Amino acid sequence: MKRNLLILLLVLIVFGIGGFLYLNQREVPIEQVFPGKIWAKPIENLPDLKGVGAPTAKNCGNCHTEIYEEWQRSTHANALTDIQFQSELAKPSSPKWICLNCHIPVQNQRETIITGLRNGDYFRPIEIPNPNFNPDMKEEGVTCATCHVRVDSQTKESYVIGGTGGTSPPHPIKIDRNQLLKRCYDCHNETYTLNESLVCSFQTGTELQATHSKQTCSSCHQPEVRRSFVKASLNKQIRTSHKHGFIGGGVPKRFDLYPDQIRLGYKPGIVLSRWKVDNNTIEVHIKNTNADHHVTTGDPERFYRLSIVGLDKNGNSIFQSESTIGQEWTWSPQAKKVNDTRIPSGKVYVWALKQTELPVVSYLFQATHVRLKNVTSDYMSQSSGYLTSPYKEKVEKIKELYPHSSLVIESLYQVKTKSRKDTPLEELFKRNVEKKGE
């Protein structure tokens, strides 16, 4: 009897351990863990494109030369090499494969294929080598194929998605303007919570839709331009095209990209619509005029820093005040938004201050779009040990290499004459370059 009980106990132990190991190692499909989430998987491997070769931006640029040159200066082209992103990606708490699904969204850009998640745990992806990995394409970040190339379900061949017809390119093309316009939402309108401290919050698309505007993302971020789609030597007709600089908040990923911001279409979402200065108060009216979504939008850590400086008759600062427009989040122990002073499209934010009794003859207002605080980049530099070359060295010198903010509005108000003088955007961006390393 005792012997039978012992055998039964051993069987239960063996099968118990085996069952535990089985359950702990079972492969759960990504679709089951993240149902309906486009960002949960990259775009499937893309075969070579007829008349083009590998679907890299460089190959596309052989014909679409102007568009390629604009894209090279864009945030999209720098989506993987972004120093801040690389620092975040290297953290032990980062679910790297998920983050990369937006920053290098095509499977050809990935060294491995995620076949599932071990026991459904997103920190334990099951990976196999990707036979179609293209290292050159990986470095292209959000490359042309992200929006423009897909695989035909019937022929299994790659084709290009176009927005207009009437051309005869060497590659297969299907006109689907609606698919192009909706593509932005796959990354720029997704909010999800992985755990209490890992939250990704991007609601730009929802903000745009709430305005009932007829504008699309491309209306502002890809301004129209009349030109040939391809290089001049191909002698193709002039058509309505779109710039591909994907200009956003005016804070580029590198200092050398500043000169291109205005050329590619940047203008601040906000304007200083009114000064009001009397014996009791100073009011600055800031209106969201140029954005059909909130400002700021996207990354919840972006914000506007506002400052007013009172100057005496000699131009010396004798009064100063600061404020912010943006979101405030706490990230530990639980990520949550605690305040939101952003400006919806068409709305006005009034910053009111009590008038000072000091002998102020003029007030200088400045609005700075902040992407990265100095205190945050200092922490990144101190934590650079998580990274490998070349990003480790870049993060250690992040203030020299990576623009943290951009001065986008400056206005001088003369109290006596009640007149204002605004600094041209070109002058402000020259100054933004000069503050490199500060």
Q: What is the mean pLDDT of residues 410-438?
A: 94
The neighbour count for residue 70, using CB atoms within 10 Å, is 23
Least confident residue range of 8-17, 78-87, 301-310, 397-406? 8-17
Instruction: Please tell me the predicted confidence (pLDDT) of residue 198.
Output: 86
Q: What is the mean pLDDT of residues 193-203?
A: 87
Q: What percent of the chain has pLDDT over 90?
A: 85
- pLDDT single digits (tens) 264-311: 999 999 999 999 999 889 999 999 999 999 999 999 999 999 999 999
Residue 349, beta-bridge partner list: 286
Q: Does the pLDDT value for residue 23 go beyond 90?
A: no
Q: Are strands 149-151 and 125-129 parallel, antiparallel or unpaired?
A: unpaired
Q: Does the pLDDT value for residue 21 go beyond 90?
A: no
For the chain, the three-class secondary structure string (H helix, E strand, C coil) is: CHHHHHHHHHHHHHHHHHHHHHHHHCEECHHHHCCCCHHHCCECCCCCECCCECCCHHHHCCCCHHHHHHHHCCCCCCCCCCHHHHHHHCCCCCCHHHHHHHHCCEHHHCCEEEEEEECCCCCCEEEEECCCCCHHHHCCCCCHHHHHEEECCCCCCEEEEECCCCCCCCCCEEECHHHHHHHCHHHHCCEEEEECCEEEECCHHHHHHHCCCCCCHHHHHCCEEEECCCCHHHCCCCEEEECCCCCCCCCCCCHHHHHHHHHCCCCCCEEEEEEEECCCEEEEEEEECCCCCCECCCCCCCEEEEEEEEECCCCCEEEEEEEEEEEEEECCCCCEEEEECCECCCCEEEEEEECCCCCCCEEEEEEEEECCCHHHHHHHHHCHHHCCCCHHHHHHCHHHHCCCEEEEEEEEEECCCCEEEECCHHHHHHHHHHCCCC
Report pTM: 0.90
Give the pLDDT band (50/70/90) at residue 201: confident
Instruction: Please tell me the predicted confidence (pLDDT) of residue 8.
Output: 54
- pLDDT single digits (tens) 318-345: 999 999 999 999 888 888 899 999 999 9
Dihedral over Cα of 13, 15, 17, 23: its sign: negative
Q: What percent of the chain has pLDDT over 70?
A: 94
> In sequence order, which residues have a C-beta less than 8 Å from that of residue 6 and are 6 or more positions away?
none
Q: What is the mean pLDDT of residues 406-435?
A: 96
Q: Does the pLDDT value for residue 2 go beyond 60?
A: no
Q: Does the pLDDT value for residue 107 go beyond 90?
A: yes
Q: Does the pLDDT value for residue 434 go beyond 70?
A: yes
| Amino acid identity, position 4 | N
Instruction: Please tell me the predicted confidence (pLDDT) of residue 81.
Output: 97
Instruction: Please tell me the predicted confidence (pLDDT) of residue 7.
Output: 61
Residue where the block lists tokens 């933004």: 432
Q: Does the pLDDT value for residue 99 go beyond 80?
A: yes
How far from 144 is each of 57, 73, 137, 200, CA to CA, in Å? 5, 13, 10, 24
Q: How far is CA 350 from the centre of its chain?
A: 28
ω into 281 cis (within 30 of 0): no
Q: Does the pLDDT value for residue 217 go beyond 60?
A: yes
CA atoms in the 13 A half-sphere facing the CB of 204: 24
Q: How far apart are CA 5 and CA 406, in angstroms?
A: 75
How far from 390 is each of 87, 160, 384, CA to CA, in Å? 12, 34, 11
Q: What is the mean pLDDT of residues 160-174?
A: 89
Instruction: Please tell me the predicted confidence (pLDDT) of residue 13.
Output: 61
Give the pLDDT band (50/70/90) at residue 196: confident
Average model confidence (pLDDT) across the chain: 92
Instruction: Please tell me the predicted confidence (pLDDT) of residue 333.
Output: 85
| Amino acid identity, position 300 | P
Rg of the Cα trace of the chain?
A: 26
Instruction: Please tell me the predicted confidence (pLDDT) of residue 192.
Output: 85
Q: What tokens appear for 352 in the block?
A: 């009111």
Instruction: Please tell me the predicted confidence (pLDDT) of residue 4.
Output: 63
Q: What tokens appear for 324 in the block?
A: 């912010």
- pLDDT single digits (tens) 43-68: 999 999 999 999 999 999 999 999 99
Burial group, residue 428, by CB count within 10 angstroms (0-12, 13-18, 19+) = buried
Q: What is the mean pLDDT of residues 124-146?
A: 98
Q: Which of 80, 86, 217 is nearest to 142 (CA)?
A: 80
Q: What is the mean pLDDT of residues 414-424?
A: 97
Least confident residue range of 29-43, 185-199, 282-296, 418-432? 185-199
- pLDDT single digits (tens) 348-363: 999 999 988 899 999 9
Instruction: Please tell me the predicted confidence (pLDDT) of residue 193.
Output: 86
- pLDDT single digits (tens) 234-264: 999 999 999 999 999 999 999 999 999 999 9
Give the pLDDT band (50/70/90) at residue 20: very low
Domain boundaries, the chain: 27-242, 255-433
Q: How far apart are CA 199 and CA 334, in angstroms?
A: 9
Instruction: Please tell me the predicted confidence (pLDDT) of residue 17.
Output: 54
